[in-house]
A and B are shown apart, each in its own frame.
Chain A
Amino acid sequence: MRTKVFPGNYESLSIIAEFVRQAAEEVGLDPCATYAVETAVDEACSNIIEHAYGGENIGDIVCTCFIKSSELVIQLQDTGRSFNPDLVEDPDITAPLEERENHGLGLYMMRQWMDEVRFSFDDGINTLTMVKRKETVC
């Protein structure tokens, strides 16, 4: 297990990506699965900054990677506003150009590309846990 604290700003995104990419490589995820993890973590951290904290440099993002033989578990924690993920509708990815909307795509990508996505909100701490298994085919 390894944990690192990152300032909640968009400049942190590429540094967090490097942190989780290393963990994904240690687990032995293939490049496609590693890219999926990088995407999910980027989307989650962008949402934390934009929606939970409501802007950059309001609070930190704590990223913990649990490196297991068969899977990578990533936990992201913040102390911003909580939300109900069930209220975020999936975007209509078949809609014509003019009807494409600007929200919901990030959460949709996380749910599609990770094997598990779980949110919990306790004592002022928001925790997102995401799992990517080695045997999952991209």
Chain B
Amino acid sequence: MEITHTAFKHSDLLKISGRIDSATSPQLADALSKITDNGGYRIVLDLSEVSFISSAGLRVLISAQKTCKRYNRGEVVLAAVPANIMAALELAGFTTLFKIFPETLEAVGSF
């Protein structure tokens, strides 16, 4: 898995590539913690290059969303979600917990 971080004025963008499983989800958790530890709570996850997500990855998303939404200080939004990943999000009942944008730019612009 590879993660690229881009800091914008009103949000942080993480572009993730590859598999998010039990081996790699700690790396995603670390990348998210780095942002929230620095006071960034408005985060866009570009999932366009994600090939797989397991429940370990989904747990990282939930944990980040709980951190960001606390005190109404922000939220995690998802962008450019591939069909298989969307199916996993739907199965886990995550589509009601995250705003999902078709395009990354639109997601960044939402903040």
Contacts and interface: CB of A to CB of B under 8 A. Distances in A.
Contact of A35 (B56, B84, B92): B84
B66 interface: yes
Interface string A33-76: 00100110011001001100000000000000000000000000
Interface string A112-138: 110000000000000000000000001
Nearest to A97: B97
Given A93-B93, A109-B92, A46 B87 contact: no
A67 to B, nearest CB: 22
Given A13-B22, A17-B52, A39 B88 contact: yes
B62 interface: yes
B23 to A, nearest CB: 4
A69 B4 CA distance: 43
Contact of B22 (A10, A38, A95): A10
B58 interface: yes
B86 to A, nearest CB: 11
Majority SS of interface residues in chain B? Answer: helix
Contact of B88 (A91, A98, A109): A109
B34 interface: no
Nearest to A105: B55
B62 A13 contact: no
18 contacts: A10-B22, A13-B54, A14-B23, A38-B52, A39-B88, A43-B54, A46-B21, A46-B56, A49-B22, A94-B96, A97-B62, A100-B97, A105-B58, A108-B92, A109-B55, A109-B91, A112-B91, A113-B91
Given A39-B52, A49-B22, 16 more contacts: A10-B22, A13-B23, A32-B84, A35-B52, A38-B52, A39-B54, A46-B21, A46-B55, A46-B56, A94-B96, A97-B62, A97-B69, A100-B62, A106-B55, A108-B92, A109-B88
Interface of B: 19, 21-23, 52, 54-56, 58-59, 62, 65-66, 69, 83-84, 87-88, 91-93, 96-97
